[in-house]
Chain A
Amino acid sequence: MRAAIEAFDTGADVGIVSKLHPTRSHSGAAEGGINAALGNAAEDSPETHAFDTVKGSDYLGDQDAIEILAAEAPGDIYQLEHWGCVFSRNDEGKLAQRPFGAAGSPRTVYSADITGHVLIHVLYEQLMRRQEQGPLEVYEEYFGWRLVIEDGRCVGVVCWDLVKGGLKLVTGKSIVLATGGMGRIYRATTNAYACNGDGMAMALHAGLPLKDMEFMQFHPTTLYPSGVLITEGCRGEGGFLINRDGERFMARYAPNALELASRDVVSRSETTEIEGGRGVNGSVLLDLRHLGAERINTKLPGSRELAMTFAGVDPIYDPIPVRPGAHYHMGGVATDNWGATELPGLYAAGEVACVSVHGANRLGGNSLMETITFGRRAGQAAAEQALVSPNGRTASGAASLADAERDLKKLLDRSEGERPWKIRDELGATMLENFGVFRYPDRMESQLDTIQALRERYEHVVVEDKGDVFNTDLTQALELGSMLDLAWVMVQAGLARQESRGAHSRPSDFPDRDDERFLHHSITRWEDDAPVLSTEDVRMTKYQPEVRSY
């Protein structure tokens, strides 16, 4: 939506294709906040924000992109406030800021613990306002499936119309992917059912490079057993992490930052505690009791609601059972600092993209900021390019549509075979087991075999719903196909990275970071129905790799 708004304001005729109504997208589930060095709570600067982000990325982030993010974030936040965003305020009535993990200053602007929710609604408000002024069509519940490429340009998307049924071709002079992540590849995830890596798979299959796909962030505080997110803001407000005995174990892993170390560090520490038998039901505990009812009810009401609803725990009186869960994909479609991919006409922004501002580990509060800042940049660049492109028509659209029809018919005509859900569940369970917080060579190898076996079974998958109207049985089957290919890409990249960096941790064979051999991005392309790996340099400015401790 941020990209669409900017493209519209730049003067383009804009359409949004979304498999959900726009306010249902998973950005709305972000809780804790959005990072910008406003300096409202303590002294801060874009340079400090950039440094924290570079260090947090374990030096794999592209530093020019990170500097852009840090420098442009404050202006973007003020704009959101002017648009009406309902942020929390400090005693002076300015935007309040709270501490977040691995941040040198309280930098996270927030709205209690529903920051993503208020952001997504203010964007939709601005979108509706613009719809009164000019063409800004939303193709709601259109499932984007394949990119259409003609003469070396991206010219459209083949979509399945969920409400009415049928394949539809949506064309454009430039196209911005903003389809989010793929947490659903794991059984334990904070991500919505919609997060299946659709956009990454579309780009991959169109021949585009995916970058740093081995880096999946595990959020340290996902609720047991449901897996929903309990915000980092709980620790930002002063929450403790404790083990079975009540010990604040983070003191042993990150003596300075304690609970507010970066997410990869906290998730590894928790996993070590749990595997060491110091957990409770495969979880550790997030203790907010000392914050008191008033603070919990004003700053963290959503977390309390989630804990009470899904775990039957009232955090005012009892600690919340939490464990690491797949949360955010640092990798994605490789783009430049304007969101442009290597394919003319195709842009990407947000979690689907890899600029890369997050490198090997993202800091909490930086992803919402990335969607806003780089969404705006991608929207502007896409619009400027579209406004000077002479031709919006495509000659090959019909052929792409016919290809898609044929493949879809093959899937729908199949009546004998396996239902997708077992394949999906097995993929989720094995990815968590073998490509989770800690990664071991034998388990990664066996995961590759598992993925191959699941891909073969997927060839015989059966869609029961043969109808046109709201056929989510079909779209869920298509999503599974994407996830299987992306899982392969991830594990292959993970095996090749023989070091431990950020969220990629190999404690048994390569426990340390190896800048000599691996200070580079992993690049994966799809060739002859298989992923092919290469590397690319990290763009450095002034931050040299240092030992990373918290």
Chain B
Amino acid sequence: MQVALKIWRYDAVKGERALREYEIDAPEEATLLDCLDIVKDQRDGSLAYRKSCRMMICGSCGMRMDGGAVLACKVRMYEIAQAGHIPVISAMGNLPIVKDLVVDMGPFWGKIRAVQPWLEPGYADPGEKENVVPQERADAIHKESLCIMCGCCVSECNSMESNPDFLGPAALAKGFRFVGDVRDQATVERLQSYSEEHGIWDCTRCYFCNERCPKGVDPRDAIAKLGAEAMSHGIDSDMGAKHAKWFVTSAKTTGWLRETELVPKTQGIAKSLKEVKFAMGLVKHGKVPPPFPPHVAKHVSEARALYDLVKEQEVDGADGIVQTEKALGHLEHAADGGEAAQRGPYGEGSFAKPFLPGEEPTA
């Protein structure tokens, strides 16, 4: 098939950037990475990009396609080429470019290191055999363990774009990989450290990291789990934590978000006073409902019942989110599969049922 690509080239020595277009002939099963290989072999040997496993596990080939991060080895080009689309390929965002599609991963790894990414088992002598951990407990960090450190989430992180010091989705997901591990004995220290400035609460919840993660790690959900764990451990002095807590309180008490009180509850009375002028402006334009009496939703009992239900289940902290993920996973799976799921594994049009030599083949 004919494939065309536009690639942002970058020459670090000269500091020059240029968008170049390449047309190549590639096999129909070709991925974006295969196409880059053909460009490098046959068009321009100086094109630089990282690659290794070409099976979505080494995490080398993160880059941007049409402005969003992808793993080049995961993107099949057939439909893109058939549609006549010419994708624009560029280096990942939020990291300095070394050459063409190669970025300096140094800042990325620096943040990974900052979360103390190793097990703190709290024992000097681990004993002769393995720690006994029920699979259900081990599953709590299943998604975070899938991370291949490709940097796609960091590339797309809006918060990091405005605050380069933000720990970011990959590092925080790695952090939860230990917080959620029953063998780790440094949970409180970790949660305190991750709750500091540039940590958990700096995430703006834009969900771009979830959207762009090629492995289903869902870093934003990991950050939510850290937040939930921090609060259940009483580590809630950050404004972000207070902000979240007020959402719960107001939903429980009135069924609505009591916005007027949100600012003082989040920032504290003293700090809120600085916002008085801004608040008065809002009042003037009719943007603020009167705080008293609080507006109570008609069906507030439902909100309270939901709150009680969640409490009764005693799945505090991250467990609640893990549980939800599992439930959603089942739903997703049920809806997945398309045509194949319609006919089932052995329905009409399926491949023959296996049989042993000597047995009669079944249709």
Q: Contact partner of A317 among B54, B128, B340, CB < 8 A?
A: B340
Question: Can you name the residue of chain A whose Cβ is closest to the Cβ of B46?
Answer: A465
Known contacts A24-B60, A26-B52; is-contact A89 B133 (Cβ 8 Å)? yes
**Across the interface, which residues of B come within 8 angstroms of A516, CB to CB?**
none
B98 — which chain A residues lie within 8 A by C-beta? 163, 469-470
- Determine whether B149 belongs to the interface, using a CB cutoff of 8 Å to chain A: yes
A318 lies within 8 A of B102 (CB): no
The answer to whether A246 touches B134, judged by C-beta atoms less than 8 angstroms apart, is no
The answer on a CB contact under 8 Å between B48 and A228 is no
- Within the complex, which residue of A89, A126, A194, A297 is in contact with B118, where a contact is CB–CB below 8 Å? A126
Are A86 and B145 in contact, with the CB atoms below 8 A?
yes
B113 contacts A309, C-beta separation under 8 Å? no
B99 interface hit (Cβ, 8 Å): yes
Provide the bound-state CA to CA distance between A465 and B3, in Å. 23
Q: Mark A282-317, 1 if CB is under 8 A from B, else 0.
A: 000101011001000100001001100110001011
Interface status of A186 (Cβ within 8 A of chain B): no
Given A24-B59, A305-B56, do A473 and B40 touch, yes or no (CB 8 Å)? yes
Please classify how large the interface on chain A is, using the bins under 10, 10 to 19, 20 to 34, 35 or more.
35 or more
Once the chains are docked, how many angstroms separate the CA of A121 from the CA of B99? 27
When distances are taken between beta carbons in the complex, the residues of chain B under 8 Å from A319 are 351
Q: Which range holds the interface residue count of chain B?
A: 35 or more
Residue of A at shortest CB range from B363?
Answer: A246
User: A297 touching B333 by the CB < 8 A rule?
Assistant: yes
Does B270 touch A at the CB level, under 8 Å?
no
Docked Cα-Cα span, A285 to B345, in Å, equals 14
Q: How far is the CA of A289 from the CA of B119 in the complex (A)?
A: 38
B99 contacts which chain A residues (CB < 8 A)?
Answer: 469-470
Which listed residue (A252, A310, A317, A421) contacts B341, Cβ 8 A?
A: A317
For the complex, is B12 an interface residue (Cβ under 8 Å from A)? yes
B57 touching A117 by the CB < 8 A rule? yes
Quick one: which of B27, B105, B112, B130 has the most chain A CB within 10 A? Answer: B130
CB of B179 closer than 8 Å to a CB of A: no
In the complex, A78 Cα to B128 Cα: how many Å? 7
Q: Do residues B337 and A23 form an inter-chain contact, with CB atoms below 8 A?
A: no
Give Cα A77 to B128, complex, Å.
11
Q: Establish whether residues B357 and A84, one from each chain, have CB atoms under 8 Å apart when the complex forms.
A: no
Contact residue among A20, A89, A128 (Cβ-Cβ distance under 8 Å from B138): A89
Q: Are A192 and B356 in contact (CB under 8 A)?
A: no
Q: Are A26 and B354 also in contact (CB < 8 A) when A93-B132, A314-B340 are?
A: no
Q: Does B307 contact A (CB under 8 A)?
A: no
- Taking CB atoms, residues of chain A closer than 8 Å to B316 are none
B276 at the interface (CB under 8 A from A): no
Asked if B121 is an interface residue, CB under 8 A from chain A, the answer is yes
**Could you tell me if A26 and B58 are in contact, using CB atoms closer than 8 angstroms?**
yes
Task: Please give me the residue from chain A that is nearest to B117 by CB atom.
Answer: A125
Contacts of A96 in B (CB 8 A): 135
Report whether B13 and A89 are in contact in the complex, using a CB–CB cutoff of 8 Å.
Answer: no
Q: Mark A12-37, 1 if CB is under 8 A from B, else 0.
A: 00000000110111101100000000
Do residues A249 and B357 form an inter-chain contact, with CB atoms below 8 A? yes
- Provide the bound-state CA to CA distance between A275 and B29, in Å: 24
Q: Are A469 and B48 CB-contacts (below 8 A) given A125-B118, A128-B118?
A: yes
CB A304 to nearest CB in B, in angstroms, measures: 11
Q: Judge whether B118 and A114 touch: CB under 8 Å.
A: no
Q: Please indicate which of the listed interface residues B59, B145, B344 has the most CB atoms of chain A within 10 Å of its own CB.
A: B145
4 A-B pairs with least C-beta separation: A464-B45, A84-B119, A246-B352, A317-B340
Name 9 interchain pairs, CB-CB below 8 A, sorted by A: A26-B58, A28-B57, A78-B130, A84-B121, A86-B181, A242-B354, A419-B45, A466-B46, A470-B100
